[in-house]
Structure 1
Amino acid sequence: MANEVLAKAGLYVDELNKIRIADPNITRQTQELKDDCHKFVDRMVEFQGIVNKSIAVSNKLATLVEQEKLKAIGSRNLLESVAKDREMQQQQLHALLLEKKIELERLKVQLNTLKKEEAEQK
């Protein structure tokens, strides 16, 4: 009954029999909420750490992928360059072969001419 009179006056008695201004149930709920908030903040900090680690790993992988991509592009360009050089060398050899064939034909004609002249002189 005394508790009811005190409650009407806005005063409450806690479990230690101390007079309080706030309702003990509300104080307990407030403390529980505060504890839950601290747990939530701790979990959010932990989550942020995990996210930061994931971002760091993703960035590192992106850098490695970019490096490998550049290496692949360089290798492809080198291969294309080698192929073009080989093709150019092949064209040069083909032109040289053609020149030699023409020279051979000219020399054959010259030889035949000289043979005819030699035969006429005998």
Structure 2
Amino acid sequence: MSALATLAEQGIHADRDGLHVMPPEQLQASVSMQEECKEFLAKTKQFNDIVGDFIDVMESKSKVIEAEKLRAIGLGNRVEHEKEVRKRKQLEVQAMINEKKAELERLNLQHESLVRVEADQKALIEKLTNNEA
């Protein structure tokens, strides 16, 4: 019996790569599985890198979005404040208009009264001038 057959009976197999304790079919399956595992690990690492990059991009976008959201809230608050300021100014102007209207009415009444007094005085002067003549 040959030395290779004796080794094979004992569970040791020889090929061009050396001596193995596994049969050649199992060895080939094991080597194939080892290669698949290496590929899987490489793809998993690549996936983790892509996910890490994606997370970094999303965090960056999240910060930009949050800053814009705060800016929009600030602008909204400024708009609301401006509305209040304009309404307050409008009320002040309306109050001033009402005061001026009241003052105008009072001055018109005073003017009418003075016109009547002037007319009465002219009539009295006319009457007195006519009586003396």
The normalised TM-score by structure 2 is 0.75
2:87 aligned residue: 87
Give the number of the structure with larger relative contact order, counting CA–CA contacts within 8 Å between residues 6 or more apart.
1
* CA–CA separation in structure 1 for the residues paired with 2:21 and 2:105: 123
Unaligned ranges ≥5, structure 2:
126-133
Name whichever of 73-82 and 1-10 sits farther off. 1-10
CA RMSD of superposed structures (Å): 2.2
**Greater CA radius of gyration, 1 or 2?**
2
Letter in 1 for 2:87: E
TM-score, with structure 1 as normaliser: 0.81
| 1:20 shift after superposition | 4.0
Residue 64 of structure 2: SS of its match in structure 1? helix
Alpha-carbon separation, structure 2, partners of 1:42 and 1:93: 75
Q: Which residue of 2 aligns with 1:8?
A: 9
- Alignment partner, residue 98 of structure 1: 98
| Shift, 1:96, TM fit | 0.6
Deviations 1:72-119 (A, max 9, x none): 222222222222212221121111111111111111111222222233
Q: Aligned AA for 2:110?
A: Q
With over 3 angstroms needed to count, the CA separation of the structure-2 counterparts of 1:84 and 1:14, relative to structure 1, is same
Q: Where do residues 30-45 of structure 1 align in structure 2 (5 Å cutoff)?
A: 30-45=30-45
The one-letter code of the counterpart of 1:53 is D
The CA distance in 1 between the partners of 2:118 and 2:12, in whole Å, is 146
Q: Secondary structure at the match of 1:13?
A: strand
Specify the alignment match of 2:128 in structure 1: none
Q: Sequence identity, in percent?
A: 31
Higher deviation after alignment, 93-102 or 29-38: 29-38
1:48 maps to 48
1:115–1:21 CA distance, 2 compared to 1 (3 A): closer
Question: What corresponds to 1:69 in structure 2?
Answer: 69
The alpha-carbon deviation at position 47 of structure 1 amounts to 0.7
Q: Which structure 1 residue ranges, 5 or more long, are not aligned? A: none
Provide the C-alpha distance between the structure 1 equivalents of 2:45 and 2:65, rounded to a whole number of angstroms: 30
